[in-house]
Amino acid sequence: MLTDNQRRLFLKGATTIPILGGAILAMHTILRYFKPTMAGGLNATMAPPDEAGSANQIVAELSELKNPWDFKDFIYVRTSVEYSSRKTQGAKIPGFVVRLPSDVPGVDPADQKTWFVVVQRICPHLGCTFNFITNPSELHGGYNYKPPEPVHPYFACPCHLSVYDPTRKQDNGTGVSLRGKVVSGPAPRPPRFMKFDIKDGQIVITDTEGGGVG
């Protein structure tokens, strides 16, 4: 049986412990605020985001794209420097490379780079993955677009039926003229481009146009 004094002491202890616990937790949170989460602590070097960390990446052999309208889809892994303990973050960007016929305006037989259109396969409307449609009846039936003569393949998005013409160019909104003019649907601009070089018979992506959808 506890005396009054002992009961008072017990109750005092029982109320002090939670208060102390709360104070320790609060202190921990405050101290944690001052401690950086990035590896290397305060002495770590901060690199700017989107520094040229993306390695050049081979996405196609010229031998795979010998004929007009041959195409290949690929995934380009873009690496960005991030302010995190992992330091870098990879973004997988789907793309298309398409060989254009030699009679398309702007295609120069002496300049291999003009033979190809290389785009990010992400629709600038709301970010769906678009397709490369080689069958004109599929364009009409599936994408509500009746292409004019002479008929050729188009990029087309299944979400809201935007259709892009790889043979024609359109301003991307910043004064850069890009292949993939919007010919139908709500897309506000052509697909984002991928910068590329041709080396040793291979198409090599060197960079991508930045920005999100729209």
Binding site for ligand FES (CB under 6 A): 123, 125-128, 157, 159-160, 162, 185-187
Give min distance, CB of 108 to ligand FES, in A: 31
Give min distance, CB of 209 to ligand FES, in A: 17
Rounded distance, CA 72 to CA 210, Å? 22
Q: Counting every residue, how long is the chain?
A: 214
Strand partners of residue 83: none
Rounded distance, CA 39 to CA 82, Å? 12
Give min distance, CB of 211 to ligand FES, in A: 15
The total of other beta-carbon atoms located within 10 Å of residue 92's CB is: 8
CB 115 within 8 A of CB 188: no
> Toward ligand FES, which CB reaches closer, 164 or 196?
164
Rounded distance, CA 169 to CA 22, Å? 64
Give min distance, CB of 122 to ligand FES, in A: 9
> Toward ligand FES, which CB reaches closer, 112 or 129?
129
> Toward ligand FES, which CB reaches closer, 100 or 123?
123
The residues, any chain, with a CB within 8 Å of residue 21's CB and separated by 6 or more, are none
> Toward ligand FES, which CB reaches closer, 38 or 159?
159
> Toward ligand FES, which CB reaches closer, 68 or 158?
158
CB 187 within 8 A of CB 164: yes
Rounded distance, CA 49 to CA 38, Å? 14
Give min distance, CB of 207 to ligand FES, in A: 24
